[in-house]
């Protein structure tokens, strides 16, 4: 049976039509979460945090959401498999009680849940956007910080829309090889969503910054400050972070991290790799230095596991996500 947007039910973890309302629901109500610090077993969620089927009822500080969508990709597809790969890679990060070099145990300060993946009728981008905006809005309005794993970079647009009613125009901290501001890009285009975000008034352009850019863009007619890859790679991470903090100031800031900001040596599993990028460690250090900022959410996108049989791209994404969680925990 064809599934249309009108058949979407209110649950983010299942879609069905009215006649089979119960049949496609994922029921995790009797799932007993058992801490398991093996690096291979029971890896159902990011870092093994509890799965959450009722967002509004959860009192967690932070919610993880997978966004398995790759229909806006211009080059090689495959990021629909990103969230699952990132969760699996996070098995490598579970054993450390206090992640180096942080001095506290994450769970002592921050409670987190994994809300699973947004589901939508495959091939139906309008239904996807509606489903993602609904789920992300529920997370944001319930007071949680949202950490999303893509998915291609288009997913950032519905995610930022979901933050707008609560935070107004946000300062964007955008890590990427590409500016993703193509004025001629389509509605569903992972190279144009920040153009559309500006058009929709979702961003505080003056206080937004793009980091690691190394592809062409109209330098003289561009809405954001750019810290290009050459500049980033020739400065200390602390200096890069200081410049980001200077630009963003006291604004509510949303971090959007395209894994292709990293050099393909560190992140080969992505659709549109560009050589000459930032190292994993530099990126981690930059994120770690952003504690003075009011960070409201983060997405990590464009992980395409099929192009990386050594899984270092998913591991880099998982580690960046964990770093963001420590950063948020350090602010609590
Ligand atoms: Mn990119």
Ion ligand 1, residues whose Cβ is below 5 A away:
176-178, 258, 260
Q: Which residue in 225, 212, 226, 215 sits closest to 278, CA to CA? A: 212
pTM of the model: 0.91
Pairing of strands 171-175, 209-213: parallel
| Cα 153 to ligand 1 centre (Å) | 7
Q: What is the dihedral of CA 188, 197, 244, 277, to 10 degrees?
A: 20
| Cα 184 to ligand 1 centre (Å) | 17
Q: What is the pLDDT of residues 189-226, one digit of tens each?
A: 999 999 999 999 999 999 999 999 999 999 999 999 99
Instruction: Identify the burial level of 262 via C-beta atoms within 10 angstroms of its C-beta, where 0-12 means exposed, 13-18 middle and 19 or more buried.
Output: buried
| pLDDT at position 281 | 98
Q: Which residues contact 187 (CB under 8 A, 6 or more apart)?
A: 196
Fold of 44-331: 3.40.800
| Cα 248 to ligand 1 centre (Å) | 21
| Cα 272 to ligand 1 centre (Å) | 7
Cβ–Cβ under 8 Å, residues 66 and 13: no
Tell me the two tokens of residue 212.
Answer: 């690691």
CA distance 48 to 87: 8
| Cα 214 to ligand 1 centre (Å) | 10
Domain boundaries, the chain: 44-331
**pLDDT digit string (tens) for the chain, length 332 residues:** 333 333 333 344 433 343 433 433 444 455 555 567 788 888 889 999 999 989 999 999 999 999 999 999 998 999 999 999 999 999 999 888 899 999 999 999 999 999 999 999 999 999 999 999 999 999 999 999 999 999 999 999 999 999 999 999 999 999 999 999 999 999 999 999 999 999 999 999 999 999 999 999 999 999 999 999 999 999 999 999 999 999 999 999 999 999 999 999 999 999 999 999 999 999 999 999 999 999 999 999 999 999 999 999 999 999 999 999 999 999 98
- The pair phi, psi for residue 99, each rounded to 5°, is -65, 130
């Amino acid at each position: 049976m064809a599934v249309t947007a009108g058949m979407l039910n209110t649950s983010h973890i299942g879609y069905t039509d009215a006649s089979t309302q119960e049949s496609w629901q994922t029921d995790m109500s009797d799932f007993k979460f058992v801490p398991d610090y093996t690096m291979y077993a029971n890896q159902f969620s990011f870092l093994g945090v509890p799965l959450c089927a009722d967002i509004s009822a959860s009192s967690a500080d932070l919610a993880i959401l997978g966004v398995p969508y790759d229909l806006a990709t211009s080059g090689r597809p495959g990021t629909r498999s990103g969230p699952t790969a990132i969760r699996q890679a996070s098995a490598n990060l579970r054993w450390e009680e206090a992640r180096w070099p942080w001095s506290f145990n994450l769970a002592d300060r921050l409670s987190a849940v994994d809300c699973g993946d947004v589901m939508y009728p495959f091939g139906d981008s309008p239904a996807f956007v509606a489903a993602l905006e609904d789920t992300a809005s529920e997370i944001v309005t319930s007071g949680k910080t949202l950490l999303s794993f893509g998915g291609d970079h288009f997913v950032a647009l519905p995610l930022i829309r979901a933050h707008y009613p609560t935070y107004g125009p946000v300062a964007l901290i955008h890590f990427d090889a590409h500016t993703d501001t193509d004025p001629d890009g389509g509605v569903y285009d992972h190279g144009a969503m920040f153009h559309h975000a500006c058009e929709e008034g979702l961003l505080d352009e003056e206080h937004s910054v793009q980091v690691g850019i190394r592809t062409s863009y109209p330098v003289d007619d561009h809405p954001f400050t750019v810290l290009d890859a050459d500049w980033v790679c020739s400065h200390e991470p602390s200096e890069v972070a200081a410049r980001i903090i200077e630009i963003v100031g006291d604004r509510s800031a949303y971090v959007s991290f395209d894994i292709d900001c990293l050099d393909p040596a560190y992140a080969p599993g992505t659709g549109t790799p560009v050589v000459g990028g930032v190292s994993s460690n530099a990126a981690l250090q930059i994120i770690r230095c952003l504690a003075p900022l009011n960070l409201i959410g983060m997405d990590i996108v464009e992980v395409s596991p099929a192009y990386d049989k050594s899984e270092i791209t998913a591991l880099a994404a998982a580690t960046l996500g964990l770093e963001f969680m420590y950063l948020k925990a350090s602010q609590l």
